[in-house]
Structure 1
Amino acid sequence: MLGKKSKDDKKAATLAQLDADDIRLALQDWDASCIDTVIPDQLAMYSGRFAQWEHQLIAGFNLLFTGLGSKLQLLQSFACHLNHMHVLQIHGYLPSVSIRYVVTTLFANLFNQKPPANRSVEEQCMECAHLLHTSPPSVSVCLVIHSIDGISLRGAGTQRALSILAACRFIHVVGSIDHLNAASLWEESDTKRFGWLEHIVHMYAPYTNETLVSTTWGSRGKTGAAPTAVSGIKYILESLTPTDLAVLRALGTQQLKDGGSMVEYKPFVDQCRKAMLVSSVQAMRNAIACLTEHGLVVTNKADQMRVPYGDHTIQHTILGLNPPAEDDGEGEEGEKEDGHEGNAIAESVATE
């Protein structure tokens, strides 16, 4: 059970969240006020190496970029330079990014089909590599992964799946890392599959975009899970199946009724089955697993779960309800979520 909240905490739960555009504009104004020619000079210097880096990709290496400052602008410019291959940019610093969405995007754009069902994400990556080897004419694909050590990509399974893609000779990977201990993410087998060629690039650029989605904009819930960005929820909701969306909204409604406390799993399953939201217990498990993967649901060891957001976000973004009165705030954690406009995955498929 959640602790008792003061009146200020209850009122804070009903307040509108900071708009991502306002935060972005404030940071951009700050950057503009600090006139510095170092970043443009560094970008111009490293742009002269694009042809060399491209040849290294063609030679079979995957490129890993380290160094001081954000490398987002540099890798975006390099992605535009790779106009002879398909390019998929993955923003790994976004909490809402999903390896399954990456695989689904590859299958949809390259083969005009869905990934094979009832397969693990690693098996789907193997199938993607196999199709690239056997589909004439074979195309080259470059995955540009901004912050491959990002919070949503750090899992061992995710890194293993990415390394399987990287091992395919028709798939090239360009990644950036920002953490000193990022190399500890990879097991020896993963490192061999990645085949990294490391480049140290000091851009000295501020982490403006990365900061906008940092979990430090808001607090974590008692589960310790990092919630998905508020504006990122909107894009995820559009990609959910009707069943998953119905389960999420039912959980949010029940959580509001319970004053923000954790919802018991078994009674909630029975409730959803009676409402004909799911057809079986297995379907319910699949829905919860999907929502958990997207950061929309958190669970604990006591078979309890909740939506890791404040009342305002649940009511407006997830349920689409009208704003509650200021003095009607329920006892809630009062978490604030980070804002960031744009998809978790920005893709640009170049025509040949």
Structure 2
Amino acid sequence: MELNDGEEEEFGFSRNYFLAKDLAASGKKSTHKLSDINLVDEQELRAAASNLEPKHEKEIVSLIDSYKSLYSRWVFMLRCGFGLLMYGFGSKKALLEDFASTALTEYSVVVINGYLQSINIKQVVITLAEILWNQCKSKRKTPSGNLPRAQQPFNSRSMDDLFAFLDGSELKENDYFVCVVIHNIDGPGLRDSETQQHLGRIASCSHIRMIASIDHVNAPLLWDKKMVHTQFNWHWYHVPTFAPYKVEGMFFPLILAHGSSAQTAKTAAIVLQSLTPNAQSVFKILAEYQLSHPDEEGMPIDTLYSTSRERFLVSSQVTLNSHLTEFKDHELVKTRTHSDGQDCFYIPLASEALEKLLSEINQ
């Protein structure tokens, strides 16, 4: 039986395919493993990345400047009750911060860095409530003509109570609102479902307006139809900047790097340097305790409070809690339950790295 040209070509392709499969099966498999790759030290890799010559800087600056003509429209959309969602390739951090600092000067602004690994969302809601309460007090009287009633401390309230306050009973002026700027609302610290639900409730409050950026291709999957149209009420803007993600990228582990204990200590030291001297001293107390009690689960909060108070580092439990919140937000400190049931705090570093960290912050 003779084959035409098309059938012969198809037969030849099929034969070659099965011959290749036979050869592959009979050959030796590679013994190389992923763990055999010689990874670069993270500090060395980040240093090399920082020395890369930036390209098209003038064009990027010009492009970002061109968006300033939209600022008045963005403010108008906020006043109308919409949230602003910025998308497009490139870091939008500089753009949002310029917009906030030049076009939102009449309003209070709270910034959330969603590119951080963890964020205390309740602390964000407490901060918003305190700003609104201070604004209410500064006006001396509410629109109804009465002085605002005394308030229970916000840090002792439930999330539902906080949202009820943000939604408007004390301050009836619709023209007043607090702007929440979120860099990377799709970032690792905000990506879980519960946090997104809280953000949606924040955005839906009558005295809150939200401006956010997204970068992940699947970011819209974070929200259902109700959240998009009823809570966030997004007005989408395509604002590609082509700017490098320098700040955002600092907080992500590099795939081609391995973290040594020295590098881990160095990173933690950089974070600590951004905190107040008292916060650094509280952290030192915790570190010294952990080094001198290596077999314990951690330092009980009562012991940490009494030691910090004796050294005049904190005046109350509330002050200590604010320091601990900062530590936990930056993943410098974690909690676990002591054998007696009491919460205790520990630093998730090996003794060698912890000693290195103490020497770094004592310099």
TM over 0.5: yes
Give deviations 1:22-72, integer Å, cap 9, x for gaps: 969x83x6455x344431232133222222222222222111111111111
Q: Say whether 1:75 aligns with 2:87.
A: no
Structure 1 unaligned blocks of 5 or more = 1-11, 222-226, 323-352
Q: Please say if residues 96 and 228 of structure 1, whose CA atoms lie closer than 8 Å, have aligned partners that are also in contact.
A: no
Q: Please say if residues 168 and 207 of structure 2, whose CA atoms lie closer than 8 Å, have aligned partners that are also in contact.
A: no
Shift of 1:258: 6.2
Aligned equivalent of 2:243: 205
**Separation in 1, partners of 2:162, 2:260:** 33
Aligned equivalent of 2:21: none
Aligned equivalent of 1:232: 271
Residue 161 of structure 1 aligns with an amino acid whose one-letter code is H
Shift of 1:130: 2.6
More helix by share: 2
CA RMSD of aligned residues (A): 4.4
Residue 231 of structure 1 aligns with an amino acid whose one-letter code is I
Shift of 1:78: 1.8
Aligned equivalent of 1:340: none
Shift of 1:195: 1.4
Aligned equivalent of 1:297: 333
**Separation in 2, partners of 1:296, 1:103:** 22
Aligned equivalent of 1:43: 64
Larger radius of gyration: 2
Residue 307 of structure 1 aligns with an amino acid whose one-letter code is I
Q: Say whether 1:119 aligns with 2:157.
A: yes
**Separation in 1, partners of 2:166, 2:356:** 37
Q: Say whether 1:65 aligns with 2:86.
A: yes
Cα–Cα, structure 1 residues 159 and 307, in superposed 2: closer, same or farther, change >3 Å? same
Q: Please say if residues 122 and 161 of structure 1, whose CA atoms lie closer than 8 Å, have aligned partners that are also in contact.
A: no
**Separation in 2, partners of 1:83, 1:177:** 24
Give deviations 1:280-299, integer Å, cap 9, x for gaps: xxx9xx96984545523236
Aligned equivalent of 2:178: 141
Cα–Cα, structure 1 residues 264 and 85, in superposed 2: closer, same or farther, change >3 Å? closer
Secondary structure in 2 matching 1:145: strand
Q: Say whether 1:99 aligns with 2:121.
A: yes
**Separation in 2, partners of 1:35, 1:271:** 55
Alignment of 1:82-93 (within 5 A): 82-93=104-115
Q: Please say if residues 64 and 95 of structure 2, whose CA atoms lie closer than 8 Å, have aligned partners that are also in contact.
A: yes
**Separation in 2, partners of 1:73, 1:253:** 39
Aligned equivalent of 1:174: 211
**Separation in 2, partners of 1:316, 1:58:** 51
Q: Say whether 1:256 aligns with 2:291.
A: yes
Residue 185 of structure 2 aligns with an amino acid whose one-letter code is I
Report the TM-score when normalising by structure 1. Answer: 0.62
Q: Say whether 1:128 aligns with 2:166.
A: yes
Aligned equivalent of 1:214: 252
Secondary structure in 2 matching 1:172: strand
Report the TM-score when normalising by structure 2. Answer: 0.60
Shift of 1:153: 2.3
